[in-house]
Amino acid sequence: MSVFITPLFVVCVLLVGTYFIAVIEQLLRLGLRSIGIALTLPLANAIRLLYQEDLTPRGADFFLFRSAPFIALAVVSLVALVIPLGPTLIAFNPSIGLFYFIVLLSPFVVAITNAAWSQNSKEGLFATFRAAAYLISYEVPIGFAAIGPVMATQSLSTQRIVEVQAGLWFVVWQPLGLAIYLIAALFVSFRHPFDSALAGSELEGGAFAEYSGGRLLLFKIALAALFLLLMAMGVVLFFGGWQGPVLPGPLWFALKTFALSALVLWLAHFFPRLRHDQMLTLSWKILLPASLLNITLVGILTLTIPVGR
């Protein structure tokens, strides 16, 4: 029975986490005084979307338009399996957990590309190419930023990475890695300031222009869930996962994840939406050399300073 219980549990935790991410977003936008509105507005929005008619444009690609939200959700669910919530609370613990995580992020961009392409419009085509360019641009920085903790841990397993941080969190001596990881995470999850492929006014709605109703809701949930998972993995990699003194592991993990998400969302809103080529410049000319530098530094530190073994 655990074959069915575990995925169900994972999906439920994901939905609850997504709800809290939406709440944090609303709090940041409306200010801390409107906590009542922030708690209920995401639910009201979701219900509103469910009432809306679910349109399929006539010229849209039959399979791609309909399957794109489900691909996105499938990716998000698969990726959520390797996040360790507690000392033994992990759904799938292969020896290559982190590699599995990073690799399974790419079909999400495929879902977005499909969504943009299947609209059968010129603006959609622009969004397709932009999204695919971001796929290539983020893979290397996020991989290299995540390799820092792997080098220190000598293992790709997410559970092992958390366990090794019992003495000292990796953020203390790999801050550059954290910075690169967070920027790349914003790329992956198409968040402001990197939401050029989903840009509202600029590209007539971008990839989500023709989605409405339930499908749009699925996409929005998938996006928020992806952001949550990236922040969760950031906590696992750099902030010690579920480690913490008094409270139980899962609670620490939740607190750390939401704190990191709030921090990233708050920092992100100081920038305007970056242009497509500015994003590519950032990725290839700034993040890539920085991540190479990061690997060098972390390698030197790992070899010379015996930390956390």
Partner 1 sequence: MSSGLIEWLIFLSLAMIAIVTAAGMIITMSMYRAGLALMASFVALAGLFILLNADLLAAIQVMMNVGGMLVMVLFMVMMMMDPGGEMMWGMKRDMHMRGPGALSMHMPSGPPPPEEQEGQLDAGAMSDMDVQETEVGGHDMSDMEMGSMTPRQNYTMMVDMAMSTAQLPWAIVLGVVSALLLVILLILTPWPLAGIAPTQDASRVVGELLLSRYMIAFEGAALLILAGIAGAVLLAKRERSRVQTPPETKQRGEQP
Partner 2 sequence: MIGSGKSGARSGLSSRVRRRVYRYIGIDGGAGATLLADLAGRNPYLQEVPVPRHADLLLIVEPISQKLVPAVITVARAIPYPVRVLIVGGTDTTSFTDVPLANLDALFPEAQRVSAFSCEQILQTVFDAHEWLDIHPPALSELEETIIQLPTARELATEPAVLSLGPLQAFTSGPLRLFLVCDGEQVLSTQVETGYASRGINHMLVQADWQQGLRLARQFDPLTPIAGQLVYVDALEHLQGWQPSIHVYRCRALALALERVQNTFWWLVRFARLLADSVLTQHSYQLARDLAALCSQLWQRPPEEWILPHHSAPGVRESKNTLAQLQRVLRSTAALQRYVERKRGLALRSRGIGILTVAQLKRSGIGQGPVYNASEHGRGDVQSRLVIRARDAVRDLQFAYDGIAELAAQPELDTDIQAVSWDIPIGETRTEVVGPRGTIELHLYHRERKEPDGPTQVVWKRPSVPLLMLLPELLAGQKLADAEVILASLDIAMVEVDG
Residue with tokens 């499938």: 74
Q: How many residues bind partner 2 (CB under 8 A)?
A: 50
Please state at what angle helix 288-304 crosses helix 122-153, rounded to 10 degrees: 10
Among 3, 245, 246, 272, binds partner 2 (CB under 8 A): 272
Length of the chain: 309
Residue labelled with tokens 């399996």? 81
Q: Which does 120 bind (CB under 5 to 8 A by kind): partner 1, partner 2, none?
A: partner 1
Work out which of 37, 136, 166, 286 binds partner 2, going by CB under 8 A: 37
Give the integer Cα–Cα distance in Å for 251 and 263.
Answer: 18
Q: Is 100 an interacting residue with respect to partner 1 (CB under 8 A)?
A: yes
Closest approach, Cβ 252 to partner 2, in A, equals: 18
102 Cβ neighbours under 8 A, 6+ residues apart = 139, 142, 143, 146
Binding test (CB under 8 A) with partner 1, winner from 39, 46, 89, 96: 96
Phi, psi at residue 227, to the nearest 5°? -60, -45
**Mask: binding to partner 1, 143-182, rule CB under 8 A, as x and -?**
------------xx--------------------------
Residue from 41, 98, 164, 260 in contact with partner 2 (CB under 8 A): 41
25 contact, one of partner 1, partner 2, none, CB 5-8 Å limit per kind: none
List Cβ neighbours of 36 (8 Å cut-off, separation of 6 or more). none
**Contact with partner 1 (CB under 8 A) among 34, 40, 95, 278:** 95
| Among 27, 85, 135, 226, interactor with partner 1 by CB under 8 A | 135
Alpha helices in 31-84 (DSSP H): 35-51, 62-80
Query: What's the CA gap between 15 and 115, in Å, rounded?
Result: 22
Print the binding letters for residues 267-296 with partner 1: x by CB under 8 A, - otherwise.
Answer: ------------------------------
x/- track of binding to partner 1 for residues 50-69 (CB under 8 A): ---------x-xxxx-----
Q: Residue 247: which of partner 2, partner 1, none does it interact with, CB under 5 to 8 A by kind?
A: none
Residues 170-229 that bind partner 2 (CB under 8 A): 192-193, 195-196, 199-202, 204-205, 208-213, 216
Contacts of 243 (CB under 8 A, 6+ apart): 162, 165, 166, 249, 252
Q: Could you give the angle at the alpha carbon of 91 between the alpha carbons of 86 and 94, nearest 5°?
A: 100
Non-local (6+) Cβ contacts of 138 within 8 A are 184, 187, 188, 283
d(CA 225, CA 16): 9
**Residue 197 DSSP one-character state:** G
Q: Is 132 in the site for partner 2 (CB under 8 A)?
A: no
Which distant-in-sequence residues (6+ apart) come within 8 Å of 51 by Cβ?
Answer: none
Tokens of 206: 């971008």
The count of C-alpha atoms lying within 13 angstroms of the C-alpha of 149, restricted to the half-sphere facing its C-beta, is 36
Task: Give the residues lining the site for partner 1 (CB under 8 A).
Answer: 3, 59, 61-64, 94-96, 99-100, 103-104, 106-107, 109-110, 113-114, 117, 120, 125, 128-129, 132, 135-136, 139, 155-156
Task: Give the residues lining the site for partner 2 (CB under 8 A).
Answer: 26, 29-30, 34, 36-37, 39-41, 43-45, 47-48, 51-55, 122-123, 125-126, 192-193, 195-196, 199-202, 204-205, 208-213, 216, 269-278
